[in-house]
A and B are shown apart, each in its own frame.
Chain A
């Protein structure tokens, strides 16, 4: 079945550093989504990407929809302690309904 790979699996960075993580798949997706999950909470949508090559920003976050439609990356600039959490990518396939596949997540730790 469809599977997403995320890298790195975990990151430990200093506050103020930039972060880059990516998501790859052998399948083509129509939409890419990036979520953040805080401990004990459900994931919250950060950015949605709808078009191959699209580059979208949300504050300090920037994400891109890969040209091949099989990958996406997320950058976080000038990290702060509240960026700590697990970041999930998700690919959406348009069938008779929207089928979403989640990646395994990247765990981010920010050292003050």
Chain B
């Protein structure tokens, strides 16, 4: 497809389980961003990738959160031992040149019961 895709679109899990969220950026986009959007809130920056490396991981809320990117393409955000406060929409964006040109995916809606 032409845009950023994310999977799954919705995920319901039980507290304590691990989840993996996937982002497929636009082909050729070297920059990739993960954000979290809680209900009624703005976007909270989580992590930024330039190529396969992550210059800024400062937004990850805790050590239960990790992300990787391989082949300058797909990225996976992993949340271990999920908590109810992890419930949110997780958005991915990719960019060719600069954050102002980032294109967002539709997000993964995560609900932790």
**Residues of chain A having any CB pair with chain B under 8 Å:** 4, 6, 31, 33, 40-45, 48, 88, 90, 92, 96-105
Contact B42 A42, beta carbon cutoff 8 Å: no
Contact B55 A96, beta carbon cutoff 8 Å: yes
Interface-centre pick from A4, A98, A103, A105 (highest chain B CB count, 10 A): A98
Contact B48 A43, beta carbon cutoff 8 Å: no
Contact A92 B42, beta carbon cutoff 8 Å: no
Interface residues on B, range: 20 to 34
Given A96-B55, A97-B55: A44 touches B45 (CB 8 Å cut-off): no
Other 19 A-B pairs with CB < 8 A, given A100-B99, A102-B45, A104-B42: A6-B42, A40-B107, A41-B107, A42-B4, A42-B93, A45-B101, A92-B99, A92-B100, A97-B48, A97-B55, A99-B45, A99-B56, A99-B99, A101-B45, A102-B35, A102-B43, A104-B40, A105-B41, A105-B42
Report how far A103 CA is from B56 CA in the complex, Å: 20
